[in-house]
Structure formats: structure tokens, C-alpha cells
Amino acid sequence: MRLNLELNPVGIVTKSRAAGARELLRKLTALLRRRGIHYLCDPATAKLLGERAKSRTLPVLAGSVKLLVVLGGDGTLLGVARSLTHRPVPVLGVNLGKLGFLTETALGDLEEVLANVLDGHFEVEERMMLQVQVLRGRKSIATSTLLNDVVINKSALARILELDVRIDGQFVAIYHADGLIVATPTGSTAYSLSAGGPIVLPGMKAFCITPICPHALTNRPLVVPDSVTIQVTLESESPDVYCTMDGQIGLPLKAGDRLKVRRSGTILPLIVPHPRNYFDVLRKKLRWGAR
């Protein structure tokens, strides 16, 4: 997908504890001012800049700007993605962390990449998101829209879990495992990959269902269409079982709790900083195919 829009104003979100964040912010805002671009910031970024008048909460910020520049690691971008549920905004991720799988733009390339983006010369990958609802009896106790994954897992001392999995109401299996991951294609290279799940290209319309340390060797990961609804029920009585969303939100679960996972109506428009194919990213970030 290619966009050619007037990207004004611009929103800025920063991992404020990152080394060199303040200096980078000053360079970025100076560049925007030279281009006549107005900018707004999340509260932590505005505080770092000393410009409280430009502070907006993330949901308000997302609804007020035409472009979001995220300075941080993949975790920072995941948090931003959850704030874009009502109005998707193109996101440019700048890597201040280590891996930077989602935040692809390197610090040294920021000025050139941002200039190209502001001139309308960029492409966007539409990343699908999932919606998860946690049900206890007839009551919904949590709902969230996620970019990567939702995970059921146990603490170090909890017993092996029994997880009843159904797809569109049809029984799939009862997994005996340490847990289960339901991931988007974007999330297929995160926790799901570490648990032995497949790499799914980000443009595919699918979910990965990956058991964590299954007791049976026949319990293999599944790839299913994004048109289905996945239900996972915790069947076992086991203490210290949690539902973790994008690795950032945790919720304790009880026996009988159900997770319903479906494709969200929201997408994340992620800016591709330069022409590349996805296998370039795999080779660079994950050393995929290296001997």
C-alpha cells in the first residue's frame, strides 16, 4: 500500500528512558520545525522536551495526528498500536533498542527516511491485529486489541495445564502443555517463534496457534484463517495461570475462564522505511538461514 498525504501534524512517542532520547528528540523536532510541520507528543515525551503544552494522552494523540513517529524498541511500538483502535495512523518506528524487528529505521537513517516520508515517498504494510475477550461465566472481564499475541501460561511451579481449543465452535483438541499462544503474522516472529511456531509472512491473513512445551509430541502448531473465532478454555484447576497480552498486560485466570480471539477490525499501518523484502529483515534481525 502506498500513501501520499499531507502529514501534518506529526505525533511523537518516545521511550524516555532510552539513552540519548532527549538529544534525538531535539534533532527530530528541529527538523519538523524547519519543514513547517506541527507536532504533538505523549506526556512522557513532552516532559522530556519541556513542552507540556504539546502533551496529549496516547488515544487523543492518535486521533489528532496524521503520522506517528515512535522512538524506542518493539515494546514501545506494541504499546502505541493498542492506542490506534479507533483511528489507524501511519507509524514510523525508529529503533532505540536492540532487535528492532518492528522499529526498523536505524538512528543514522532517521533524517533521510523522515524527509522521504514527509515528501510522501513511502509505502505502508497493513498489519492485522487481533481482538481478545476474556470471559468468566457470562461476564467479560477483559477486552483488548493486540498486534502480536495473546498467551495463556503458568508460573514456574504450576502444574501442566489443560486447554480446550475450539475453532468456530468445532472441537480441535485438549492441549496438555505449559501454555498456548495465539499470534498474528506479526507476532509469529515473537514468542510463538521461540515456542517452535512457524514464521508467517506479515501480509498473510492467518492466526498461529502454538502450544508451549506440549506434553504430547503430536500437538503441533496450527495456522488457521483469520476469518475464524478461536476459543480457548482453561480446564484445569491450577494456581498462578495468566493471560498475557502482547507481553505487556497480565491477567490471572481461573478454571473455566475462556478466551475468544478473532481478527480485529483495526489494522496497524506500518511504514516501510526503504525498499526491502521481508526475507531481508529475517536475515538481518534473526540471522535466518545462517549456518
Active-site residue list: 74
Please report the beta strands in 147-229, taking only residues with DSSP state E, as ranges in sequence order.
149-154, 161-167, 170-177, 179-183, 206-212, 222-225
- Grid coordinates in use for 159? 502444574
Q: Check if the beta carbon of residue 71 is closer than 8 Å to that of residue 15.
A: yes
Alpha helical stretches, state H, the chain:
21-34, 43-49, 58-62, 74-81, 110-118, 191-194, 278-286
Residue with cell 510541520: 37
Angle, CA 68 vertex, CA 64 and CA 72 arms, to 5°: 135
Task: Name the residue with cell 484447576.
Answer: 237
Q: How many CB atoms neighbour CB 250 within 10 A? A: 11
Q: Name the burial class of residue 176, with classes exposed (0-12), middle (13-18) and buried (19+) by CB atoms within 10 angstroms of its CB.
A: middle
Q: Tell me the C-alpha to C-alpha distance, in Å, between residue 117 and each of 8, 120, 177, 228, 278.
A: 12, 5, 45, 36, 20
Q: How close are the terminal C-alpha atoms of the chain, in Å?
A: 34
